[in-house]
């Protein structure tokens, strides 16, 4: 058993300061929540919308198909963790709702450069810029092909 000594205990002022900062943060968050203020940033206008379907292949790759022209625009091979993770989450919601993979997803390019991946079948959306420019670039290449 370790005995508490004056050398391994935080000073009372430090503990009090930490407690006051935490209390002020909780009060500020509660005030915003109670006021009903919308703190989300509204979406900019869509400047480009591309309807895409994603199909798994027996070799483990995923092909990206333009739903309008029905042409393959890209083949994803290898890990591609973010790409696969984003699609897995959207596919899971479709399975929960009892929906198939027939309806395409929408990749929306916004006026401010942001990208949003939307599943019109379930209403789910992924704001790709939230995951950083490298991950958003994985989907951005599908806008130009």
In the chain, what are the domain boundaries? 46-144
pLDDT for position 3? 62
Please tell me the predicted confidence (pLDDT) of residue 1. 57
Does residue 80 have a pLDDT over 80?
yes
**Mean of pLDDT over the chain:** 89
Give the Å distances, CA to CA, from 66 to 13, 18, 45, 49.
62, 54, 22, 11
Q: How far, in Å, CA of 65 to CA of 79, rounded?
A: 19
Identify the pLDDT of residue 86: 93
- Residue 145 confidence (pLDDT) above 80: no
Q: What is the pTM of this model?
A: 0.69
């Amino acid at each position: 058993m370790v005995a508490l000594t004056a050398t391994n205990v935080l000073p009372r002022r430090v503990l009090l300061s930490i407690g006051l900062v935490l209390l002020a943060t909780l009060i500020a968050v509660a005030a915003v929540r109670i006021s009903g203020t919308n703190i989300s940033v509204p979406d900019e206008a869509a400047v480009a919308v591309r309807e895409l379907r994603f199909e798994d292949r027996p070799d483990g790759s995923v092909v990206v198909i333009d739903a309008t022209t029905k042409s393959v625009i890209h083949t994803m091979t290898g890990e591609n963790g973010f790409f696969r993770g984003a699609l897995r989450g959207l596919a899971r919601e479709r399975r929960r709702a009892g929906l198939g993979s027939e309806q395409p997803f929408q990749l929306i390019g916004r006026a401010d450069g942001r990208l949003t991946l939307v599943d019109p079948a379930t209403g789910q959306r992924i704001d790709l810029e939230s995951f950083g420019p490298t991950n958003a670039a994985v989907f951005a290449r599908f806008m130009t092909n």
